[in-house]
Amino acid sequence: MSIFNDTEKANIIELKKVSQSYDGGKSYIIKDLDFIVEDKPAQGQFVVILGMSGCGKSTLLRYIAGLQQPTAGDVLIHDEPINNSKRVGMVFQQYSSLPWMSVLDNVSLSLLYKGINEKERREKAMEIIEMVGLAGHEHKFAQYPTLSGGQLQRVAIARSLLANPEILLMDEPFGALDVNTRLQMQDLLADIWLKFHPTVIFVTHDISEAVYLGDDIYIMKSAPSHFVEHIHVDLPFHRTRETKRDPHFVELVQLVEDKMVEVSKLG
């Protein structure tokens, strides 16, 4: 996978000369950004985006989700403009569950919209709820403090998985969690990715997290933003806590840190 596709593989995501201005073109947050993620059916991939605050990382996710249109350029999924029929799930940093509904009803919401009968959607929802470690909480309201922050993010991940997305967008989903919960969620996400193989686009500020989860890491410079670094993470496909103790993992974290410092100095 690369920013520019130089292989014969089809693309699942493509951003072409994307720019974003909020003042009629006097200044740009993002300028002439190109980005390609190749389609790897039955395998998926895990792409991590790093960059300084305000460089437009979350904006890129909103483009891919169809929540925002760029000022200029094209955003394509499977070489077609984004529309509501595209299977894209999104998990935000802020808790996005509907607090007046139970965990079970939140997770099964996509099946309700698809017209699936109550018995089937509850059975399918419970399978995912058990997988993400929420069994026993399914009838609780999906709100804080009834559920912890980590549990609420599990609800969001379960809801997105049950919708069966090809693409899962994650915007700093663990940023508000305590260290121990964050580590647990990293392991959960790694296991989920191995089971479902979606194409994940993951935004974070945590370099160790980026190396632990990612296949490829892309670094954006500050505005006017575009990608300036690509680092392939050549670690084993299946990762565990022991991976973080591998000297090569430590080397990769240091490499990404150095690249981040270099990028921060770019004008």
What percentage of the chain reaches a pLDDT higher than 70? 95
In a domain, 130, yes or no: yes
Range 52-63 average pLDDT: 92
pLDDT at 9: 72
Q: pLDDT (tens digit, 9 = 90+) per residue, 208-250?
A: 999 999 999 999 999 899 999 999 999 988 889 899 999 999 9
In a domain, 101, yes or no: yes
Q: How many domains, the chain?
A: 1
Positive or negative: CA dihedral 110, 115, 119, 120: negative
Q: What is the mean pLDDT of the chain?
A: 89
Residue 159's domain comprises: 97-164
In a domain, 146, yes or no: yes
How many CB atoms are closer than 10 A to CB 142? 27
pLDDT(174) > 60: yes
Q: Which residues face 203 on adjacent strands?
A: 49, 171
In a domain, 153, yes or no: yes
In a domain, 208, yes or no: no
In a domain, 140, yes or no: yes
In a domain, 113, yes or no: yes
pTM for the full model? 0.89
193 or 253: which carries more pLDDT confidence? 253
In a domain, 102, yes or no: yes
Range 21-47 average pLDDT: 91
Q: pLDDT (tens digit, 9 = 90+) per residue, 87-122?
A: 788 888 776 788 899 999 999 988 887 888 889 989
